Amino acid sequence: MLLGTLREAIFLERINRFICRVLYRDGQHTAYLRNTGRLRELLKEGTKVYVREKEGGKHPLELLLVDAGSSLVCVDSTIPPFLYEEYTGVKGKREPRFGNVRFDLLVDKKIIETKSVNLVRDKVALFPDAPTLRGRKHVEELIKLGEEGYEPLIVFVVQREDALYFSPNWDTDPDFCRALVRYREKGFQLQAYACKVSMKEIMIEKPLDIIF
pTM as predicted: 0.95
**What's the CATH number of domain 80-210, 3.40.1350.60, 3.40.50.720, 3.30.43.10, 1.20.1630.10?**
3.40.1350.60
Neighbour count for residue 55 (Cβ, 10 Å)? 5
Do the Cβ atoms of 205 and 197 come closer than 8 Å?
no
The answer to whether the bond into 128 is cis (omega within 30° of 0) is yes
Q: Where in the chain is the domain with CATH 2.40.50.580?
A: 7-74
Task: Look at the domain 7-74 and name its fold.
Answer: OB fold (Dihydrolipoamide Acetyltransferase, E2P) (2.40.50)
Dist CA 41 CA 20 (whole Å)? 15
Dist CA 137 CA 112 (whole Å)? 14
Alpha-helical runs (H) found in the chain: 80-88, 133-147, 174-185
Q: What is the pLDDT along the chain (212 residues), one digit of tens a residue?
A: 999 999 999 999 999 999 999 999 989 999 999 999 999 999 999 999 999 998 777 888 999 999 999 899 999 999 999 999 999 999 999 999 998 999 999 999 999 999 999 999 999 999 999 999 999 999 999 999 999 999 999 999 999 999 999 999 999 999 999 999 999 999 999 999 999 999 999 999 999 999 99
Dist CA 129 CA 121 (whole Å)? 11
pLDDT of the residue at 54: 85
